[in-house]
Amino acid sequence: MWAYPEALLAGAAGTLRIFVICLVVGLILGLLVGLGRYSKLRLAYIPASIFVEFFRNTPVLVQILWFYFAMPMLMPFEISPLMAASLGISLNSAAFSGEIFRAGIQSLESGQWEGARALGMSQTQAMRRVILPQAIKRMLPALTNRAIEIFKMSTLASAVAYVELLQQGKLIASIHYNPIEAYTCIALLFFIFLYPLVQSTYFLERKLRQSD
């Protein structure tokens, strides 16, 4: 097991790569979706809602396989495993993040808006200077949870043979016939990495609640 540090390192790199991609895309897209869901314009609200409902209620693996196998039939270009997995995971987390953003913005009492508008701020200024900063504080715990979920979902990319940790685990297990060691090792790696992060989100949550 330990004879293959490069394999594991390559896997870890792959995991991190897809994590960062999906996190960034998921958050940015999620913000747009969230604003869309919050907006009064039907032009924004309806597509955003359909997006959210669809991608929240369909399993991620189904989406990944769809992007990998089904979409190439419609597109003139190749879809790499990374692209397919990233699309599936990002869109899924965008849907969940979108709801987090929307709830965060809505949770602020209207008094904040009124205070900002009374000063003569425009809608955008109010959003930028008053609403979002406060909303982000409230959304941080849920968003960090989402990030951890994304990290865990990176393993799904192994279904389309993308090189990440689990995929490397499968490889090692099949070469050396040692699934026990291989998969135990992978599980422990994930646990050792994620557990402190999970604990710090609890800590973060408590801290934020105190400062409210």
The distance of closest approach from Cβ of residue 87 to another protein in the complex, given in angstroms and rounded to an integer, is 13
Among 3, 42, 43, 57, the residue binding another protein under the rule CB under 8 A is 57
Q: Residue 71 has what DSSP assignment?
A: G
Q: At its nearest, how many Å lie between another protein and the CB of residue 116?
A: 30
Distance in Å, CB of 182 to another protein, minimum:
8
Interaction of residue 63 with another protein, rule CB under 8 A = yes
- DSSP class of residue 67? I
Residue 183 sits in the site that holds another protein (CB under 8 A): yes
Secondary structure (DSSP) of 23-50: HHHHHHHHHHHHHHHH-S-HHHHHHHHH
Among positions 85-144, residues that touch another protein (CB under 8 A) are: none
Residue 195 in tokens: 């557990």
CB 55 within 8 A of CB 95: yes
Is residue 195 part of the contact set for another protein (CB under 8 A)?
A: yes
Kindly state whether residue 172 participates in binding another protein, applying the rule CB under 8 A: no
Structure tokens of 141? 């715990």
CA atoms of 183 and 156, how far apart (whole Å)? 15
What is the phi-psi region of residue 58: left when phi exceeds 0, alpha when psi lies from -120 to 50, beta otherwise?
A: beta
**Rule CB under 8 A: which residues touch another protein?**
53-54, 56-63, 65-66, 69-71, 73-74, 151-156, 158-159, 166, 169-170, 173, 179-180, 182-184, 186-187, 190-191, 194-195, 198
